[in-house]
Structure 1
Amino acid sequence: MSAKTSAITVPMRGALALIDAALAQGIPLDALLEQAAIDPSLLDMPRARLSLKQFSRLYASIVGTLDDEAVGLLGYPLRNGSVETFCRIGSTTTTFGDCLQVIARGCNAVMGDFKVDCVSGGGEIQIRFRERAGDPVRSTLAYEIILLAIYAVMSWLVGQRLPLVCAAFPCAPPRHRLDLRALLAGAVRFHQPCGALRFPEQAGALHIVRNADEIPRFIRRAPASFIEAVLVGDLLAADVRRVVQQALPSLLSLPDVAERLAMSPRTLHRKLEAGGTSFQKIKDGLRRDMALHFLTRGSTPLKQIATSLGFSDQSTFQRAFVQWTGVSPGEYRRLTQPQRQ
């Protein structure tokens, strides 16, 4: 029994926001859920999680129906190919500092209601999104899509999860703000004057490592590839996840992992913290995602799943699973059973 490292899951709360946007555009709910292979019962479970494949199908279905990569949230369509254009112009640059400048100009070309610029000062470089009409009128979800897409594209282009001073949102925090913070390697602030991604000045020297030949696959797998870019795009975090997974059912400690990665425990802790995560978060996230992978893709007994993930017994696993999702693993399996038939 095994699960791929890419078996990342997405909070249902984030998907519900997309579904609400689709319903507002007149897309029938039943058709949307069927295309994404999402059981309707999960809509009543805000702590449930979707596979990357389900979430990608959901987003792709909405985008395909509307021909709008902003899913109708900007008041005008962001036509298919817009994000790919950002990737292509970014890949022509040498450093992240240059990339930030050209992507800001590209955003200005396709996002007419925004004035997008790139500024530096005070030890920071940032890309800002200011609404030309004055006070922000876009929804929180609109800014989430804009800022997360740009952050994911640029993280992918430099081959690592970009460090952030903060991500600024000119609106109220969403209910899933904790999930949003997990996607961004820095502080997240709301009720700000404008939308912005603020990076430490030294990030401008990072090299662009992607080329045009890699773009089609990155775009074809979106938004799964975007989520991977910001969750496991940090090579160190990905290495920690891989080492922990390979050792299961044995549970490694931070010193164990640090030794296998040829660094001191203090250095590993410091580098993970700088990337906006921690050893415990990586380990908990891996075990949660693997548990969901097994529950939705087979009939493996719960006791065997618990053992394979390093839990001392089934009851300990069940308590942890309830903390992760709000329901027991048996209930979660019953709700997702139709997806496997």
Structure 2
Amino acid sequence: MNHFESVRKTPKTLYRPVHATPVEFLQAVLAAYAKYGRSPEAALQQAQITPSLWQQGTGGEGVERITALQMERLSAYAMHELDDEALGWFSQPMRWGSYGMLLRASLSSPTLGVALQRWCRHHGLLTQDVVLQWQRDSAQARIVLQENRPLGVFRIFCLVSMLRNLHGVACWLVDSPIRLLRLELPFPAPAYADALALLFPGPIGYDAPVACLHLDATHLAMPLCRNETELNDMLRRALYVMVKPYRRDRSLLRRVRQRLRASLSTPYATPQTAQTLAHELHLSVRSLHRLLQEEGVTLQSIKNEVRRERATELLVRTRHPVKQIAAMSGFDNVKSFARAFLGWTGQTPQQYRQQHQPLDSG
């Protein structure tokens, strides 16, 4: 459910999964099988977890972590087999499809803030053993996880999983990693606190009065950018969104490049601006610039790169006049095009064309 798998780079640049998921989470799933009087043997086989692995983990001398993929497979199999997406946490099972229903109810929300409010409210229709309380002021939003009954051996796994799932869903809905202002957990720091620090992008406080996520209020206005088709695709492997820190489905840089290239390749197309790109990408202009900056680029630098690629291609592969190539590369006049091209390549467009002319052109 809520675990972390990192990778280690070998000298041969191969990547291997690191055993970083606490074995205590595995033991919580096994406790669910015990609660329902079922054998976990098939689930453990599905996840390729041997009895010696988790039994040794409790003794402190063997493996104390498993991989995120193992935990994902174990949890998915257990949820199906036990017909309980909460894996024994609550007084009544949360039947298979419950969290998918919560997602569908939130998908039509205009903004992330509305989607999170709906998630909290509708979760209360599934159980009252724990309640998600939505609180907001001008600076931040807080999602408080209130415990209404003892959760026993499931407590830590339940609290961590619910908050990680909620954060993972929020990131997926807007296709953007969301950093937390703070996470508060109502128990002492466990031995695997390092794994929790990797799960939640932000400072974590322990021994808090209640479990609580703190989000910057500026994220709440972000529009959702998912549709029904994407939701159905995600639900086929929903746990993957929950078990690993979120990464954008597609690089924003790549999507901006694609749109700029398409615009230049389309005759008489209106030039792309920050406003038009932000609208197409379901972002505010401010968020577009900020997210590109996080990827180490600016919108102007991407425009220059795409224009240069377009211009050099046209100069070499066509016999179009330079004036026409300037227009097809997004410039209003030849003078500004020639000045920009000289800055890109150190040559004039005519010099570049002559130097890179195909051998059989004459």
The 1:200/1:190 distance shift into structure 2, 3 A limit, reads same
TM-score normalised by L of structure 2? 0.58
Residue identity in the other structure for 2:196: L
Equivalent residue number for residue 50 of structure 2: 39
SS in 2 for 1:162: coil
Identity of aligned residues (%): 24
SS in 2 for 1:165: strand
Contact persistence 2:180–2:214 (CA under 8 A):
yes
Contact persistence 1:158–1:209 (CA under 8 A):
yes
Residue identity in the other structure for 1:172: P
Equivalent residue number for residue 116 of structure 1: 132
**How far apart are 1:94 and its partner, in Å?**
1.6
**Of 6, 10, 22, the match for 2:32:** 22
Residues 268-315 of structure 1, C-alpha deviations (whole Å, 9 max, x = no match): xxxxxxxxxxxxxxxxxxxxxxxxxxxxxxxxxxxxxxxxxxxxxxxx
Residue identity in the other structure for 1:72: G
The 1:231/1:66 distance shift into structure 2, 3 A limit, reads same
Contact persistence 2:168–2:246 (CA under 8 A):
no
Equivalent residue number for residue 212 of structure 2: 196
SS in 2 for 1:86: helix
**How far apart are 1:85 and its partner, in Å?**
1.6
**How far apart are 1:97 and its partner, in Å?**
1.3
SS in 2 for 1:139: helix
Kindly indicate whether residue 155 of structure 2 is the aligned counterpart of residue 146 of structure 1: no
**Of 109, 128, 137, the match for 1:93:** 109
Contact persistence 2:33–2:82 (CA under 8 A):
no
Kindly indicate whether residue 210 of structure 2 is the aligned counterpart of residue 210 of structure 1: no
Residues 98-122 of structure 1, C-alpha deviations (whole Å, 9 max, x = no match): 1121111111111222333211126
Q: Distance in 1 between matches of 2:213 and 2:189?
A: 16
Equivalent residue number for residue 299 of structure 1: none
Q: Distance in 2 between matches of 1:203 and 1:142?
A: 25
Q: Distance in 2 between matches of 1:80 and 1:185?
A: 29
Equivalent residue number for residue 232 of structure 1: 247
Pick which of 159-168 and 34-43 moved more: 34-43
Equivalent residue number for residue 297 of structure 1: none
Q: Distance in 1 between matches of 2:210 and 2:103?
A: 24
**How far apart are 1:50 and its partner, in Å?**
2.0
Q: Following superposition of structure 1 onto structure 2, how do residues 325-336 of structure 1 map, counting pairs within 5 Å?
A: none
Residues 169-216 of structure 1, C-alpha deviations (whole Å, 9 max, x = no match): 223333322111111111222222222211011111122111121112
TM-score normalised by L of structure 1? 0.61
Q: Distance in 2 between matches of 1:235 and 1:190?
A: 35
**How far apart are 1:159 and its partner, in Å?**
0.6
Q: Name stretches of at least 5 consecutive residues in structure 2 with no aligned partner.
A: 1-11, 57-61, 255-291, 299-362
**How far apart are 1:136 and its partner, in Å?**
7.8
- Higher relative contact order structure (alpha carbons within 8 Å, sequence separation ≥ 6): 1
Q: Distance in 2 between matches of 1:31 and 1:106?
A: 33
Q: Distance in 2 between matches of 1:66 and 1:161?
A: 32
SS in 1 for 2:238: coil
Q: Distance in 2 between matches of 1:123 and 1:136?
A: 32
Residues 118-174 of structure 1, C-alpha deviations (whole Å, 9 max, x = no match): 1112611122221235x8866111101211111111111111121211122223333
Aligned length in residues: 240
**How far apart are 1:238 and its partner, in Å?**
11
Q: Following superposition of structure 1 onto structure 2, how do residues 184-333 of structure 1 map, counting pairs within 5 Å?
A: 184-228=200-244, 230-233=245-248, 262-263=296-297
Kindly indicate whether residue 22 of structure 2 is the aligned counterpart of residue 13 of structure 1: yes
Q: Distance in 2 between matches of 1:3 and 1:195?
A: 39
Q: Name stretches of at least 5 consecutive residues in structure 1 with no aligned partner.
A: 240-257, 265-341
Residue identity in the other structure for 2:155: S
Q: Distance in 2 between matches of 1:40 and 1:108?
A: 37
SS in 2 for 1:217: helix
Kindly indicate whether residue 141 of structure 2 is the aligned counterpart of residue 132 of structure 1: no
The 1:32/1:118 distance shift into structure 2, 3 A limit, reads same
Residues 47-81 of structure 1, C-alpha deviations (whole Å, 9 max, x = no match): 544252x3222001211222111110123212211
Residue identity in the other structure for 2:83: D
Q: Distance in 1 between matches of 2:43 and 2:207?
A: 32
Equivalent residue number for residue 156 of structure 1: 172
